[in-house]
Structure 1
Amino acid sequence: MTSPNRQRRRSISDHRSTPGRVPPSPGYASSKLNSSTDSARRNPVAAAWSLTGMFALCFSPPVSDNSKSLGDSEEFKSSSSVSNISRAGSQRGRGPNGGMSIGSYNVIQGKEPGIVKFTMEEIYQVTRNFSPSFKIGQGGFGAVYKAKLLDGNVVAVKRAKKSVYEKHLGVEFQSEIQTLSRVEHLNLVKFYGYLEQGDEKIIVVEYVPNGTLREHLDCTHGSVLDLAARIDIAIDVSHAITYLHMYIDHPIIHRDIKSSNILLTEHFRAKVADFGFARHAPDSDSGMTHVSTQVKGTAGYLDPEYLKTYQLTEKSDVYSFGVLLVELVTGRRPIEPKFELRERITAKWAMKRFIEGDAITVLDPRLDQTAANTLALQKILELALQCLAPRRQNRPTMKRCAEVLWTIRKDFREELSASNFRSFSTTSQRSSSLRE
């Protein structure tokens, strides 16, 4: 666990200041989010966009002394009550995707929790020799199978591709198990163990039953997510990334924040997954401000400054989170090849519309244009604009993003209640008139 002094330094100073640059203030974005759309248009924000999503200029909002800080909330920190959602609704038996039961290998004498090494026999038993009926997905790392332990824990068994197994997959495998074994948070997938034997490389993690965020935005898994659920998901993700950046001994940069790496529970709580690209953040105690590394990530989410300089910081995750915010309110993928050129890069298109005062046109057409939705849309796009600043020092911290999203959710709920009351009052008046 990080010492209190070290936590305090990170919280106050953005924990990665570089001499000669101005770090985001603790009140970053608070006054902007209370402004109207007209006020946003009057700010000196340029809209010189490129197809890579690089923005020419961005503003730095003034300091707000009365900004409410939620950064020390336990929701940001390591959660002692790891989610049990994966256990709920699990089916016993041997039907399709039902999985087979094996022992509770996540608790073994002399083993650290999360550093459990499975045997090949155990993996074969749980997946019935990797039966196609247990396969639930296919990703860049390989195939994913569903299984269940004897203690009731439902797990996902990720098996690396053999046909294309190369050095980079080995690096991703090591990165994922090293990262997952060090973290524990309600909004991160839980790690159960791994296997490395010959050319077999397998990771066993919590099974999250409700698909990915991208599947829900595409409406290929369930019905349309309302805006309230999307705001909750954004807050969950911001908590997870804040925890990685600030509340573990050696902070971690995820480097691949995207909607297909966000899993949803049956109660629509978000869990961030896939740590194959994760890297340790620079050590502030040594004076480092970035990690020099080759570019990894997903097209459409990549930080343009990282692409240009090969300098990775926590603010690269912030940029990806900005793209995710745009994705949440528009429903579109970051890159839409079938759209006309001016709408192909979703973040570029949405930010341009927002700056021009026409934000409502980017709202997911499956969502109603209510007063509450319109208000939340404006504020979410304003936060996204700051996350997408071309220079990292002009982006807020993930902690600040979470605080702003809490405020947005509060305002959204208040407006929703007020709208419902106005609607009820109008209906009552009409009924009274008819009776008279």
Structure 2
Amino acid sequence: SVPNARCNPSKYLAEDCGKTAQIALLVAGIVFGAMVTCVTCVVYQLLKRRSASIRTKRSTKRLLSEASCAVPFYSYREIDRATDGFSDAKRLGTGAYGTVYAGRLGDGPLVAVKRIRQRDNDAGLGCVMHEVKLVSCVCHPNLVRLLGCCIEQGHQILVYEFMPNGTLAQHLQRERGPAAMPWTVRLRIAAETAKAIAYLHSEVDPPIYHRDVKSSNILLDHEYNSKVADFGLSRLGKASLGDSSHISTAPQGTPGYVDPQYHQNFHLSDRSDVYSFGVVLVEIITAMKAVDLNRPPSEVNLAQLAVDRIGRGRVDDIVDPYLDPHRDAWTLSSIHKVAELAFRCLAFHSEMRPSMAEVADELDQVQRSGWAPSADDAAFMSTSSSICSSSAASTRGTDRSWGAGRSRTERERAAANSSAVQDQTAKDAAESPVSVHERWFSDRSSPSSNSLLGNRSQH
């Protein structure tokens, strides 16, 4: 057999070639099979994702239909294009639930795009649906309008009307605009905000408790009209149970604004929003932050600071010197009346606080009592609105509180400008049921001394 092998090498060569071809075919088959499997898996995942997206859209539309809320849907591609891929240059701000961007849908006007922070899909959808149902089913000129939503590819996005003049907080902290906001503009914003919250409490059934009333959630349009925003923490109250009605829920909100009684006993009511609005009124008067760790320890919490000063008849100690309260009798008198109202809103016991309807009515009366446009108002209102992108940049780069940095000398100088005006104001104050020039002796209606700094909301 050996000689035959030497004489016929082609036979073995042919056998080797055949085996090689078989191996090559086998490898090719395995590779092809693997490729087919991979493609099949990819297609399956894409179809599954698309099917889930379709089911989510149908489920969302069904929920909205059941709630009688007609809200337009936008595709993720439209939203992504409108915000330049959620560019940082378009970012307006970041909150507890997500980030807000400026955008333009097609050739339409600017809009505010709220991108909900990524979380469990069901939780994210629930968050969106909660806010959509609340905002789309109410109608008030001082509530921000919901223009649409996007629920696609695991993203939950809400589209709101764009507010070119930013937030009240930005103006009070001098983070936006070339000039300080005049008192008459601040008072009008306070009155409009109070009307919007009163509408939620009194004219909606069941009532809506906002739960996060603060100056950064009060948006301003091109004419500085107030628009209350961010209903992410809002809850439906109990209908037609009187002023004592409440719901039991874990305290949530922003430190410095949370109702101390709600913080202690977990009872949320319309008076919880009243307390938060009282803090906003103090911010409007003082231009100080609700919580500022740069202030002395006893003054970190603005509500406590205000109650102490107002209760001891020392309102002038905390008034924003930019307001020049002694310029005329009406300005000084109206500031003191609003300070007195804020004091009552900040009462520890909720039953001692006025309702938001009463607050709105009092602010309207103060506004009408002697207001007349001034040169300062005209100059302020004529200033052009900043572009949203530059506003976002300035907001990120500036974190200063005018109220925290001003000196006692400035306050004393402002307080000593006009003794004649003080006499007139004292006369007006004497006619008030509870004068801010008198010591407040009722411990029962004073805000809690407990710090709210540890009450950071959990989401």
TM-score interval, smaller chain: 0.5 to 0.7
Distance in 2 between residues matched to 1:416 and 1:123, nearest whole Å: 43
CA contact (8 A) 1:212 1:260 kept: yes
Structure 1 runs not aligned, ≥5 long: 1-109, 418-422, 424-436
Q: 1:194 aligns with which of 127, 146, 149?
A: 149
Question: After superposition, what is the alpha-carbon deviation per residue over 1:300-326, rounded to whole angstroms, capped at 9, x for unaligned?
Answer: 100111111111111100110111111
Distance in 2 between residues matched to 1:392 and 1:362, nearest whole Å: 25
Which residue is equivalent to 2:277?
A: 321
Q: Quote the offset at 1:331 in angstroms.
A: 0.5
CA contact (8 A) 2:291 2:300 kept: yes
CA contact (8 A) 2:183 2:323 kept: yes
Q: 2:230 aligns with which of 254, 274, 280?
A: 274
Matches within 5 A, 1:230-249: 230-249=186-205
Distance in 1 between residues matched to 2:374 and 2:80, nearest whole Å: 51
Q: Quote the offset at 1:389 in angstroms.
A: 1.2
Structure 1 residues 236 and 160: alpha-carbon distance in aligned structure 2, compared to 1, 3 A threshold: same
Which residue is equivalent to 1:61?
A: none
Q: 2:251 aligns with which of 290, 295, 303?
A: 295
Q: 1:211 aligns with which of 166, 172, 196?
A: 166
> Which residue identity is paired with 2:182?
D
Decide which structure has greater helix share. 2
Q: 2:176 aligns with which of 190, 204, 221?
A: 221
Matched, 1:304 2:260: yes
Distance in 1 between residues matched to 2:133 and 2:82, nearest whole Å: 23
Distance in 2 between residues matched to 1:187 and 1:309, nearest whole Å: 31
Q: Quote the offset at 1:123 in angstroms.
A: 1.7
Structure 1 residues 210 and 310: alpha-carbon distance in aligned structure 2, compared to 1, 3 A threshold: same
Structure 2 runs not aligned, ≥5 long: 1-63, 376-417, 419-459
Which residue is equivalent to 1:257?
A: 213
Q: Quote the offset at 1:150 in angstroms.
A: 4.7
Structure 1 residues 207 and 200: alpha-carbon distance in aligned structure 2, compared to 1, 3 A threshold: same
CA contact (8 A) 2:69 2:133 kept: no
CA contact (8 A) 2:145 2:160 kept: yes
CA contact (8 A) 1:372 1:415 kept: no
Secondary structure of 2:330 counterpart: helix
Q: Quote the offset at 1:132 in angstroms.
A: 3.4
Q: 1:382 aligns with which of 307, 328, 340?
A: 340
Structure 1 residues 344 and 116: alpha-carbon distance in aligned structure 2, compared to 1, 3 A threshold: same
Distance in 2 between residues matched to 1:407 and 1:288, nearest whole Å: 26
Distance in 2 between residues matched to 1:167 and 1:237, nearest whole Å: 33
Larger radius of gyration: 2
CA contact (8 A) 2:78 2:105 kept: no
Matched, 1:184 2:142: no
Distance in 1 between residues matched to 2:110 and 2:225, nearest whole Å: 17
TM-score normalised by length of structure 2:
0.63
Distance in 2 between residues matched to 1:307 and 1:412, nearest whole Å: 39
Secondary structure of 2:292 counterpart: coil
Which residue is equivalent to 2:296?
A: 340
Secondary structure of 2:288 counterpart: coil
Secondary structure of 2:369 counterpart: helix
> Which residue identity is paired with 2:147?
Y
CA contact (8 A) 1:372 1:416 kept: no
Secondary structure of 2:151 counterpart: strand
Secondary structure of 1:276 counterpart: coil
CA contact (8 A) 1:282 1:313 kept: no
Question: After superposition, what is the alpha-carbon deviation per residue over 1:40-98, rounded to whole angstroms, capped at 9, x for unaligned?
Answer: xxxxxxxxxxxxxxxxxxxxxxxxxxxxxxxxxxxxxxxxxxxxxxxxxxxxxxxxxxx
> Which residue identity is paired with 1:180?
V
> Which residue identity is paired with 1:265?
D
Which residue is equivalent to 1:393?
A: 351
Q: Quote the offset at 1:393 in angstroms.
A: 1.2
CA contact (8 A) 1:210 1:265 kept: yes
Which residue is equivalent to 1:351?
A: 307
What's the C-alpha RMSD, in Å, of the aligned pairs?
2.6
Question: After superposition, what is the alpha-carbon deviation per residue over 1:83-142, rounded to whole angstroms, capped at 9, x for unaligned?
Answer: xxxxxxxxxxxxxxxxxxxxxxxxxxx986642222222222322332334333322222
Matches within 5 A, 1:140-159: 140-150=96-106, 152-159=108-115
CA contact (8 A) 1:224 1:366 kept: yes
Secondary structure of 2:323 counterpart: coil
CA contact (8 A) 2:92 2:101 kept: yes
CA contact (8 A) 1:351 1:381 kept: no
CA contact (8 A) 1:172 1:277 kept: no
